[in-house]
Copies of this chain bind each other. A is one copy, B any other.
Amino acid sequence: MIPQGAYRDEHFIVDFEHQRAYLDNKAMVLTRKEFELLATLAGNAGDIVPRDILLQNIWGYSPEIRTRTMDVHIRRLRKKLAGYGESYIETIFGVGYRFQPYRAPRQISSPLYALASVA
């Protein structure tokens, strides 16, 4: 589930091997569960990871167990990913979560184009 090597984008790095993550080149302080969760999501960046799977893989819970612990962990991660938090960890309602690689704000070449999307 958690791949070898590393995940990396413009602001965020996960070094799976050394169990560390960096945000804008600063080491994040993460607990074990926080790291596992973040690493699992980032390791599957772009793909939805279902709640069932996360609960099974990280907590060893079977799907019928009712708990909010994962949501609490997600919240703490979003907090620690400050600023980018909302855009990195996306909620897929009724399914799970998806880690979205950072996308640089695109330079808009034509002001008309920008206006078009607002209108």
Asked whether any CB of chain B lies closer than 8 Å to the CB of A119, the reply is: yes
- Are A111 and B17 touching (Cβ within 8 A)? no
Total copies of the chain:
2
Q: How far is the CA of A99 from the CA of B112 in the complex (A)?
A: 21
Residue ID in chain B nearest A95 by CB atoms:
B32
Least CB distance, A50 to chain B, in whole angstroms: 11
Asked whether any CB of chain B lies closer than 8 Å to the CB of A15, the reply is: yes
**Number of residues on chain A facing chain B (CB within 8 A):** 27
20 intermolecular pairs with C-beta atoms under 8 Å apart? A6-B118, A8-B115, A13-B115, A15-B111, A15-B114, A15-B115, A15-B118, A16-B118, A18-B114, A18-B118, A20-B108, A20-B114, A22-B111, A25-B110, A25-B111, A26-B107, A27-B107, A31-B93, A31-B94, A32-B95
